Chains A and B, each alone.
Chain A
Amino acid sequence: MNILKVLLDKSWQHPTAAATAAQYSGPDAQAAARVMLRFILAIVGVIFFLFIITFLSRSQYPDFEALAGPPWQPFTNASRLWFNTGLLACASVAIQWGLSGTRAGKLNVTVAGISAAVFFTVLFLIAQFDLWLHLQSMGFYMNGNPANSYFYLLTAIHGLHLMGGLLVLCNVVFRVWYDNDLKTLAAPLQLCTTYWHFLLGVWLVLFALLTSRPDTINALAALCGF
């Protein structure tokens, strides 16, 4: 739809002839759900964008100590975060695999794909929580430094969005199980898949930001005018 063309329409000039009054049977559920997902992604995107902007702004105050860089900082060696990232990437791949199975009408692939996606996602959440405990044991408490605060905050918000996604995915799966019709699964599963990929993308941005060295963070902040 060309929005410019729409906005230029002189609607007062063209009453439609009766002959074009076609049968109308209500809105398209799939299209509606797609539109809603786009808005949800925009909202989630804005939330993380704003957190990131405040992160960059706050990073320019003298008490901010980035979590990577000097050898004593926890993410100078980010191997645990790489592992967690791998788990979330596996979840994304698995749900995509499940979707391809659904489209091909293969029940086994669908079940395996969705199960693996849920498994890897839950594992990611557990691994993130374990990382919290690990950081705490190292003395990096939430109120110790703004960089710590942002790590806990951003991972928590990201985790909450994943949990929300899991709830929706479970609802979709149970509804399909109840209806016993694989065909109706493809559209909602496509939306879930998009959401998973989006959250993987968000996580990659957060991962890059949280493991950035002070020089990189300062450069980004300078780019934003802070």
Chain B
Amino acid sequence: MQHVAIADQPDHLHDPQTFITKYVYSQDHKVIAIQYGVTAIFVGLVALCLSAVMRLQLGFPNTFDFIDPSNYLQFVTMHGMIMVIYLLTALLLGGFGNYLIPLMVGARDMVFPFMNMLSYWAYLLSVIVLLASFFVPGGPTGAGWTLYPPQAILPGTPGYDWGIILMLSSLAIFIIAFTMGGLNYVTTVLQARTHGMTLMRMPLTIWGIFTATVLGLLAFPALLVSAIMMMLDKTLGTSFFMPALVSMGESLDYSGGSPVLFQHLFWFFGHPEVYIVALPAFGMVSDVLATHARKNIFGYRMMVWAIVGIGGLSFFVWAHHMYVSGMDPAFGFFFATTTLIIAVPTAIKVYNWVLTLYRGNIHLTVPMLFAIGFIFTFTHGGLTGLFLGNVVIDLPLSDTYFVVAHFHMVMGVSPIMVLFAALYHWYPLITGKMFNQRLGKIHFWFTFLGTYAIYLPMHYLGFLGVPRRYFAMGSTDFIPESAQSLNASITISALIVGLSQLLFLYNMVSSLRNGKPAGLNPWGATSLEWQTPHAPPRHGNWGPVVPTVYRWAYDYSVPGAELDFIPQNHPVSAAEQTAGDHGEGKS
């Protein structure tokens, strides 16, 4: 049998020595993960700054000369697209997927390291192309992150020329990058698990990342197809999506295209995208909760089924984003039903997280605080999703701040809470240093409370009918003046929360230099990534011998065990063996 030559031979175990081989031409999954992570966080900070500028305009209209209606829309668009695709997707899958998959399944690296490296460089190119649109004539596109035609490519929309072309190109490059990475993730999970690591022994993090990657591989083609067709409509004058229309008093050459067709394609990608972001977060938060509550995850099998079930169902709910597009009421009924069905496995997960905490030995560490914060924000965002999933409630709330509040709570703040939990949780592994706990806790409280200060009032703005994506409200009869006070309050909260992220950045950077050595397994975790011979793990991860797995990933506080955790690679004791022989499986 031929084997993949990934550091399995002793002569491959040496770390790359030169700067080029270590950081540029690196095929080590850990380096690639950090490259993904740093790039994603950088571009995420750009998007955060854009949101601050947007909030300044909304909170204090007619105050800042440098914000006009055009660039306001451009900021909205770039903020949304960067956050969803280039930060969340890239950091959760490119960053954490790359770092954790080989370590958690006991592999030395991804099965196709060269392609993995190409994936990062293509991702970086997509980011550069995207950011380049800030510097081209007309600036970036202001079509909204959904890029709906016909307005996205017509005069009157900012960035309708260069901006939209660069956006579509960047998305196409990103999809190629994601595909190269994603093929690696799924193949590594399916083929490179170490001995004893059965699928049902994998930590939920890996289940989440794996299922999300499968979703991404099958859903991103829809975005690619729509991007290609819109690009042709823009550049070659085809009429896939563009109807016959008059623009600026001039009849255009387009004829008969269907803008709604684009919407279907976009949301066939767009809704699974929500779960591409959410499922890895679900997985990671499960592991953080179990580890810091010193308790096995409640209902592991049900958690796996829920992840797989949510992944499957996510392909059948897309049109709930299109209730106002004039669809057949029967379609609306169908998609409302599937949307509500998907709430069942999601609710199971929330109950199981809470039941994992129940009677656990809860350690309120920084990662745990963020993980518990996630349960709050996700439940909150999920419940407003039940409102919007129903056609009759969605229609009046559509395109209001209620929607903005909902999706920020459920797929903005919640995955970000998990990202922070994960970054703090795995920071000691990635760097070998411990971060400053006090700073981390301050960062948590600013972020968590600030989140509510920002998004809770937005629900009320939505009920009032305040529309989203508006540069200014002007004098509108149905919006009371107090709405403006609320907007100012939201802006101040947002700026405070934004600035508090500097605490996080400072903590991460300064702890690199000044942090105490973390040791090999500071949280007392059971999963394999914490059982490496070195922290941070070296090239090839495991030294001369890859680990063998004997048990599932959640043996915490096992009665009779010496410690309150038993690592997955810890051999079975005689007592366990006897208990197993007598059919007394652990509960």
Contact of B1 among A28, A42, A54 (CB under 8 A): A28
Chain A proximity mask over B531-557: 1 for CB below 8 Å, otherwise 0: 000000000000000101111101100
Taken together as a complex, chains A and B put the C-alpha atoms of A149 and B546 apart, in Å, by 54
B6 touches A26 (CB 8 A): yes
**B345 interfacial contact with A, CB 8 Å:** no
A9-B198, A146-B240 known; A16+B572 contact, CB < 8 A: yes
B253 touches A143 (CB 8 A): yes
Question: Chain A residues with Cβ under 8 A from B548's Cβ?
Answer: 21, 24
**A22 interfacial contact with B, CB 8 Å:** yes
Taken together as a complex, chains A and B put the C-alpha atoms of A3 and B152 apart, in Å, by 44
Question: Chain B residues with Cβ under 8 A from A8's Cβ?
Answer: 301
A54 touches B229 (CB 8 A): yes
Chain A proximity mask over B225-261: 1 for CB below 8 Å, otherwise 0: 1001100100011111000000000000101111001
B229 touches A153 (CB 8 A): yes
Contact of B585 among A14, A17, A61, A187 (CB under 8 A): A14
**B275 interfacial contact with A, CB 8 Å:** no
**A7 interfacial contact with B, CB 8 Å:** yes
Question: Chain A residues with Cβ under 8 A from B198's Cβ?
Answer: 6, 9, 11
A11-B201, A26-B4, A29-B2 known; A50+B550 contact, CB < 8 A: no
A57 touches B258 (CB 8 A): yes
Taken together as a complex, chains A and B put the C-alpha atoms of A187 and B228 apart, in Å, by 34
Give, as a whole number of angstroms, the nearest-CB distance from A136 to chain B. Answer: 13
B183 touches A39 (CB 8 A): yes
B221 touches A46 (CB 8 A): yes
B232 touches A149 (CB 8 A): yes
A143 touches B238 (CB 8 A): yes
Residues from 539 to 587 in B contacting A, C-beta threshold 8 Å: 546, 548-552, 554-555, 571-572, 576-577, 580, 585-586
Taken together as a complex, chains A and B put the C-alpha atoms of A6 and B308 apart, in Å, by 13
Question: Chain B residues with Cβ under 8 A from A24's Cβ?
Answer: 194-195, 546, 548
A27-B4, A46-B221, A149-B232 known; A63+B239 contact, CB < 8 A: yes
A29-B3, A35-B187 known; A16+B217 contact, CB < 8 A: no
Question: Chain A residues with Cβ under 8 A from B224's Cβ?
Answer: 47
A17 touches B572 (CB 8 A): yes
B4 touches A29 (CB 8 A): yes
Residues from 1 to 43 in A contacting B, C-beta threshold 8 Å: 6-18, 20-32, 35-36, 39-40, 42-43
A25 touches B3 (CB 8 A): yes
B105-113, B317-325, B390-398 - the one binding chain A: B105-113
**A161 interfacial contact with B, CB 8 Å:** no
B2 touches A184 (CB 8 A): yes
Taken together as a complex, chains A and B put the C-alpha atoms of A35 and B210 apart, in Å, by 14
Residues from 47 to 70 in A contacting B, C-beta threshold 8 Å: 47, 50-51, 54, 57-58, 61-64
Q: Tell me the interface secondary structure of chain A in the complex.
A: helix
Question: Chain A residues with Cβ under 8 A from B4's Cβ?
Answer: 26-29, 32
Taken together as a complex, chains A and B put the C-alpha atoms of A153 and B226 apart, in Å, by 12
**B514 interfacial contact with A, CB 8 Å:** no
Question: Chain B residues with Cβ under 8 A from A184's Cβ?
Answer: 2
Question: Chain B residues with Cβ under 8 A from A15's Cβ?
Answer: 550-551, 572, 576, 580
Taken together as a complex, chains A and B put the C-alpha atoms of A31 and B4 apart, in Å, by 10
B265 touches A12 (CB 8 A): no
Question: Chain A residues with Cβ under 8 A from B341's Cβ?
Answer: none
**B515 interfacial contact with A, CB 8 Å:** no
Contact of A153 among B232, B255, B552, B576 (CB under 8 A): B232
Contact of A6 among B112, B200, B546, B576 (CB under 8 A): B200
Closest to A47 in B: B221
Question: Chain A residues with Cβ under 8 A from B430's Cβ?
Answer: none
Chain B proximity mask over A54-98: 1 for CB below 8 Å, otherwise 0: 100110011110000000000000000000000000000000000
Question: Chain A residues with Cβ under 8 A from B586's Cβ?
Answer: 12-13
A27 touches B192 (CB 8 A): yes
**B305 interfacial contact with A, CB 8 Å:** yes
B196 touches A16 (CB 8 A): yes
Question: Chain B residues with Cβ under 8 A from A50's Cβ?
Answer: 221-222, 225, 265, 268
Closest to A29 in B: B4
Chain A proximity mask over B47-65: 1 for CB below 8 Å, otherwise 0: 0000000000000000000
Question: Chain A residues with Cβ under 8 A from B183's Cβ?
Answer: 36, 39-40
**A220 interfacial contact with B, CB 8 Å:** no
B225 touches A62 (CB 8 A): no
**B100 interfacial contact with A, CB 8 Å:** no
Question: Chain A residues with Cβ under 8 A from B179's Cβ?
Answer: 43
**A172 interfacial contact with B, CB 8 Å:** no
B1 touches A7 (CB 8 A): no
Give, as a whole number of angstroms, the nearest-CB distance from A20 to chain B. Answer: 8
**B510 interfacial contact with A, CB 8 Å:** no
**A142 interfacial contact with B, CB 8 Å:** yes
Give, as a whole number of angstroms, the nearest-CB distance from B239 to chain A. Answer: 6
A42 touches B218 (CB 8 A): yes
Closest to B218 in A: A46
Residues from 101 to 136 in A contacting B, C-beta threshold 8 Å: none
Taken together as a complex, chains A and B put the C-alpha atoms of A47 and B261 apart, in Å, by 15
Give, as a whole number of angstroms, the nearest-CB distance from A207 to chain B. Answer: 20
Give, as a whole number of angstroms, the nearest-CB distance from A209 to chain B. Answer: 15
Residues from 323 to 381 in B contacting A, C-beta threshold 8 Å: none
**B424 interfacial contact with A, CB 8 Å:** no
Question: Chain B residues with Cβ under 8 A from A21's Cβ?
Answer: 195-196, 548, 550, 571
A21-B548, A50-B265, A149-B238 known; A11+B200 contact, CB < 8 A: yes
Give, as a whole number of angstroms, the nearest-CB distance from B199 to chain A. Answer: 5
A142 touches B238 (CB 8 A): yes
Question: Chain B residues with Cβ under 8 A from A57's Cβ?
Answer: 258, 261
B200 touches A9 (CB 8 A): yes
Query: B-contacting residues of A (Cβ < 8 Å)?
Result: 6-18, 20-32, 35-36, 39-40, 42-43, 46-47, 50-51, 54, 57-58, 61-64, 142-143, 146, 149, 153, 157, 184, 187
Q: List 29 A-B contacts (CB under 8 A).
A: A6-B199, A7-B305, A10-B301, A11-B200, A13-B586, A16-B551, A16-B572, A18-B571, A18-B572, A20-B196, A21-B571, A25-B8, A26-B4, A26-B107, A27-B192, A32-B187, A32-B192, A35-B186, A35-B191, A39-B217, A46-B222, A54-B225, A58-B240, A61-B257, A63-B256, A142-B237, A142-B238, A146-B239, A149-B232
Other than the given A42-B217, A62-B256, 14 more pairs (CB < 8 A) read: A7-B301, A7-B305, A8-B301, A11-B551, A15-B576, A21-B550, A26-B192, A27-B3, A29-B4, A54-B225, A54-B229, A61-B258, A146-B239, A149-B240
8 A-B pairs with least C-beta separation: A13-B585, A63-B256, A24-B195, A143-B237, A27-B192, A11-B200, A26-B8, A9-B200
